[in-house]
Amino acid sequence: MSIDQYNAVPGSNDLANYFKTGMRPSAVKTAGWDIMADLASYIVALPTAGGTSNVLTVTNGRPFGALVAGLLQVLNPASANTGPATLAPDGLAAAPIFTNGAALAGGEMQAGVPILLKYDGTNWNLLNPAPPGRNLFVDPCCRVASRGNSGAKGLNSNYKYGNVDLVQMKATGTLVSAGSLTQDTTGTITSAATPYAIKAAGVTITGSGKVFVRRWIESADAISLKNQIVLFSVLVRHDVGSSINGFLTVNKGGAVNDFSSPVTIATGVTVSVATGTDTFVTAAVSMGDCSNGIEVILELDCGAVTAKNFYATDWQACPKTLAQKVSLPTFEDDVNRAMRYYEQSYTYGIQEGTATAAGRIRTTAFAAVGNGQGLGNSILYAVPKVAAPNFSLTIYSTSTGSTSNVFDLNGSADVAVTAGSSSIRGYDLLNSSGSSLTANHALTWQFVADARL
């Protein structure tokens, strides 16, 4: 007999071939042995799952007779799940496997790692999912906006960075006539780990409109995911007014940290995202050789829209894990890690090109500096930059915000300069004004070092 037929009410356990009033001693022994077999097959057993990685079956030593609420199943998966999964024990009906109240996303069950499943009358609940791995996205919650939330970039059909330092967006359709790339700080995505999200605001598109959000993982981190199953996920929301489809595409670089000609690794399943509803869009991907770097693109197929908003946050790229709230770094850690790709001398929250002395770099030319000569000081970045294919350095005057200029405090005028050398660690400047700089004049400027992929 199987243990699913046992009852928590003692008087309801009047089962055939078990203990009966007036039993012979030999029958008592047989009934006791039978109970011992039930318990051993249920507790001291580890059957291996059959079926496939996402459609599991199992044959117990004492087969279950029925699925009853509270039933516990212990088994050993033969392979890791790559998405939602079901279990059908002993030829009974298949039921979904959930964890934390949601269907599996991929990687929660690992080969050779015993799992505990509790049946609630509808679903099997995985009690010991594989723990989340380290999230390899820098600034997963889209908090770092060095330039502040002023001067939002306009949305068009080309990828561009908005106010969030490390996230790009674009849109396509017959005509993309309105939209700006900004940062939501009001917690519109209510289930997110923080109140922050990347936002495409006031989007207007005609035709078959689509909104795209792009993120990347540089080669030095991506190599740790080589040949692993990785779960990518992002939490999204929109106010289109009807459900739209969303999915993730995962690419690898054609060369080290170079996504000019990316190679597609996999495209995730399409998820219906209801209007005004926080929704995870996920993709469980067998990565192969991704050591050139990883590009992840969220596509939201919105159709024709007028003045609508799209949000994305809580980005995850974790080996062998499940979608959940991200493990939240400190804001300081997020800012410092983001500066590997984007650093500005401006005080945090100030738009580049602003005429301001706050955060400025200052030096004094103690001797006259001829045209084409160096100013004499090398400036080191706070954080060394990744050697990206499209690294750029821009100098701004503190007085006018003009590019390729420093401000001569004593002469009260901008002076044209060029970068004499620029590396991942710092730079120096050359006088390119066409005339000599006066000795002992103080010079001030701002800079932006952009090494984003």
pLDDT digits 0-9 by tens, 181-231:
999 999 999 989 899 999 999 999 999 999 999 999 999 999 999 998 898
Look at residue 61 and tell me whether its pLDDT is greater than 90: no
Question: How much is the pLDDT for 151?
Answer: 72
In the predicted model, what is the mean pLDDT of residues 360-382? 89
Q: What is the pLDDT of residues 376-425, one digit of tens each?
A: 777 899 999 998 788 899 999 999 999 999 999 999 999 999 988 777 88
Question: How much is the pLDDT for 101?
Answer: 85
Q: What is the pLDDT of residues 103-151, one digit of tens each?
A: 887 778 988 999 999 999 999 999 998 876 778 999 999 999 999 887 7
Tell me which of 94, 115, 130 is where a domain ends: 130
Residues 327 and 357 in one domain: no
Lowest mean pLDDT among 107-111, 286-290, 361-365, 432-436: 107-111
Count of beta carbons in the 10 Å neighbourhood of residue 278: 17
Q: Whole-prediction pTM value?
A: 0.76
Cα separation, 426 vs 325, in Å, equals: 37
Residues 302 and 430 in one domain: no
Selected residue with higher pLDDT from 270 and 376:
270
Residues 250 and 358 in one domain: no
Look at residue 325 and tell me whether its pLDDT is greater than 60: no
Question: How much is the pLDDT for 324?
Answer: 56
Range of the domain at 29: 1-130
Summary mean pLDDT of the chain:
90
Residues 265 and 289 in one domain: yes
Lowest mean pLDDT among 37-51, 243-257, 328-342, 408-422: 37-51
Residues 210 and 168 in one domain: yes
User: How crowded is the C-beta side of 145, counted as CA atoms within 13 Å?
Assistant: 24
Lowest mean pLDDT among 178-187, 299-308, 322-331: 322-331
Look at residue 359 and tell me whether its pLDDT is greater than 60: yes
Look at residue 328 and tell me whether its pLDDT is greater than 90: no
Within a domain: residue 50? yes
Helix (H, G, I), strand (E, B) or coil at 4: helix
Residues 105 and 182 in one domain: no
CA nearest to 6, candidates 68, 95, 73, 97? 68
Within a domain: residue 143? no
Question: How much is the pLDDT for 85?
Answer: 95
Lowest mean pLDDT among 15-19, 181-185, 197-201, 359-363: 15-19
Number of separate domains in the chain: 3
Residues 306 and 362 in one domain: no
CA nearest to 128, candidates 164, 155, 104? 104
Question: How much is the pLDDT for 33?
Answer: 74
- For residue 55, the cross-strand partners are 86
Residues 60 and 86 in one domain: yes
Question: How much is the pLDDT for 411?
Answer: 94
Decide: residue 22, CB within 10 A, 0-12 exposed, 13-18 middle, 19+ buried. Answer: exposed
Residues 157 and 245 in one domain: yes
Helix (H, G, I), strand (E, B) or coil at 115: strand
Cα separation, 298 vs 213, in Å, equals: 5
Residues 10 and 125 in one domain: yes
What percent of the chain has pLDDT above 90? 71
